[in-house]
Amino acid sequence: MGFIFTPKLKSKTGNNENWGMGLLLVFFPEDKNDSFLQKNNTLLSSSSSSIRRTNSSALFTKAQSTISICALFVFLTLLLFTLSTFEPSVNIPNSITTPRRFLSQKSPSSNTFSSFLKLPGYFGSDKRNNETTSFALQGMGTLYRRGTIAMSDLVVAHVIEDVKENEFRLFLRLLHRSGLTARADVAFLFGSSSLLLKFSPLIHEENESFLKLVQHYKGSNDTSSKHLVLSFDITQFVKAAKKEMPEPLWGKKIRGNLSNSVEDGDQGESNRVNYGSLVGFEVSELDPENSLAGFLDHVPIGLRRWACYPMLLGRVRRNFKHIALIDVKNMVVVDDPLGRVRNRSLDSVHVTMKQDEKHKKRNSDKTQSHHQANSAIIMGGTRGVRRLSSVVLTEIVRAAMQHKKNSVTESGILNRVVGNEHISKNIDLVTSSESIRYTSSLSGSRSKSSLGSFGLLQRGNSNSNDDVIDSIIMKQICYCEEDSSVYKNC
């Protein structure tokens, strides 16, 4: 309760002026008022707290769902990246089909291939049979055979669209018998996936025949036929083994001791058979965008290969010293052609010149004869060949933009590069007018010395039939009884 004092008003009714104070009492219900206020405060606080709890729980739910979605995206990204970079293991059984596009080749039987596993320098485990399904280099290419050691030279053999099966077989067989694979790795450049699938079984078949020859001649002391024109010389592959042998570039790195050498008790040192690797690439792997398609209506492999060399040679530039670019259609190897450039600098490029058949018929005077650069064989140091490939690619684009697209030819571009000193100023070009003999010379030759110093033979002589010449060469190879037992078509 409370009380209030109020003054009494002055009365004007009488003469006597009476003054006084009045008391006005006012009662306040204190208890009821306090309880009412408390109830209101309680309601307000409960409603605000419930609102806060609702807002916080909604925010927490949203944050939790956002974090879950982000975590799911991260997991899926890592899963897809892992699957895309996964490389099939060499232990995959034959019953499982791997997603590689070039696994249609016929695998050798265990009885036929078991004898090769005991070869000096060859892989000592059945797991190597599946090595053919591995990538050759950094997720690209096909590994047909992993060599025993790292080689200092590389042969890049391009396979054009119209190469026949017998031509490719002859090139492979003479390549193995020439001894070039004892010093160099071989990389085939196929113009399409169909060519790769078509010739992959031939590569495996000729590789098996080569290993059979190695096994036969390794324990033989017969050297009487070593100097014959198409003989197989095992001494080119047998070398003294060192404690630390460099591992090949191609395929997966192998852990453990792979020497498998045969001890030579007389000399007290170990010897082993060494040979290079065999790999294959499609042009779409090295030039996925087909960089010349925007300048030319049709890009044959003779031109497109120059767009593939910068990527391939750029990745192996630190592993090889000398490189040879060979056309499978027009060349066969009977010896070691890289012997001409091994003593030169790594900036040098050796180009052979051949006489133009049209000018040869028109001009009887030798001084007026015209020569063209032979694009079927180009050899040189790694730096020189890389620079040449870049210059040729640039000139192809320039010629396509300045002239008609269909008039651009590989021989014309190469002649322009070789004949223009300003274009080839950064390349140490070495030209040779010495002609390379044709395969027809094999029919009447008995000694390797009669084939010249190139170690190469050229197809395409207008005076002879290449199919007939190829059959004659095959018969000469099968003439030896030991060799005829190795090859299936003898």
Q: 329-343: per-residue pLDDT in tens?
A: 999 998 899 998 999
User: What pLDDT score does 48 carry?
Assistant: 55
Q: What is the mean pLDDT of residues 347-352?
A: 93
Residue 237 clears pLDDT 70, i.e. is over it: yes
| pLDDT at position 84 over 50 | yes
According to the model, what pLDDT value does residue 129 have? 41
Residue 34's DSSP bridge partners are none
Which one has a higher pLDDT value, 283 or 54? Answer: 283
pLDDT tens per residue across span 355-374: 665 545 554 444 444 678 99
Write the single-letter amino acid at 446: R
Q: When comparing pLDDT for 188 and 24, which is higher?
A: 188
**Contact predicate 248/185, CB 8 Å:** yes
**Segment 455-471, tens digit of pLDDT:** 888 987 766 688 888 88
Average pLDDT for the chain: 76
Question: Picking from 34-43, 385-394, 440-449, which range would have the lowest pLDDT averaged per residue?
Answer: 34-43
- 448 three-class SS: helix
Q: What is the pLDDT of residue 54?
A: 62
Residue 121 sits at φ, ψ, to 5 deg, of 85, -10
Q: Is 153 helix (H, G, I), strand (E, B) or coil?
A: strand
Rounded-to-integer distance, Cα 448 and Cα 229, Å: 4
The residues that bridge with 355 in the sheet, in sequence order, are 371
Instruction: Show the DSSP H helices in 316-422 as ranges.
Output: 357-362, 382-402, 410-419
Q: What is the mean pLDDT of residues 58-73?
A: 84
Biggest alpha carbon–alpha carbon distance for the chain: 173
Tell me if 197 sits within 8 A of 290, measured CB to CB. Answer: no
Task: Tell me if 60 sits within 8 A of 66, measured CB to CB.
Answer: no
Measured CA distances, 31 to 35, 41, 111 (Å):
6, 16, 109
pLDDT above 70 covers a percentage of the chain that reads 66
Instruction: Output the pTM of the full model.
Output: 0.70
Q: What gap in Å lies between CA 216 and CA 109, rounded to an integer?
A: 19
The distance in angstroms from the start CA to the end CA of the chain is: 132
Q: Specify the pLDDT at position 200.
A: 95
- What mean pLDDT do residues 432-453 have? 73
Res 291: pLDDT: 92
**How many CA atoms within 13 Å lie on the side-chain side of 258?**
20
Q: How confident is the model over 214-238, as a mean pLDDT?
A: 76
Mean pLDDT score, 365-390: 82
φ, ψ (nearest 5 deg) of residue 73 = -60, -45
Residue 400 near residue 392, CB atoms below 8 Å: no
Cβ 229 vs Cβ 442: under 8 Å = yes
pLDDT for 73 = 83
CA within 13 Å, CB half, 60: 6
Measure CA 443 to chain center: 38
pLDDT tens for 107-157 read 333 343 334 434 433 333 333 344 445 899 988 999 999 999 999 999 999
Upper half-sphere CA count for residue 420 (Cβ side, 13 Å): 13
Q: Name the more confident of 119 and 185.
A: 185
Where is pLDDT greater, at 263 or 310? 310
Q: Which residue intervals of 152-225 are DSSP H helices?
A: 165-178, 193-218
**If you count DSSP H runs as helices and E runs as strands, how many of each does the chain have, helices first?**
11, 15
Q: At 315, list the tokens.
A: 């990745």
Q: Are strands 153-159 and 322-327 parallel, antiparallel or unpaired?
A: parallel
Angle ∠(221,226,230) on CA atoms, nearest 5: 135
What is the predicted pLDDT for the residue at 120? 39
Q: Is 52's pLDDT higher than 80? A: no
The type of residue at 16 is: N
Whether 243 shows a pLDDT value over 90: the answer reads no
Q: What percent of the chain has pLDDT over 90?
A: 37
Helical residues (DSSP H) of 23-107, grouped into ranges: 30-84
Neighbour-count burial of 246, counting CB atoms closer than 10 A to its CB (0-12 exposed, 13-18 middle, 19+ buried): exposed
Residue pLDDT, tens place only, 189-205: 999 999 999 999 999 99
250-295 pLDDT per residue, tens: 998 776 544 443 334 344 346 788 999 999 999 999 999 999 998 8
Question: Which domains occur in the chain, in start order?
Answer: 112-484 (3.90.550.10)
How far is 324 from 310, CA to CA, in rounded Å?
14
Q: Are 164 and 317 in contact (CB under 8 A)?
A: no
Question: What pLDDT does residue 51 have?
Answer: 55
- pLDDT band of residue 94 (cuts 50, 70, 90) is very low
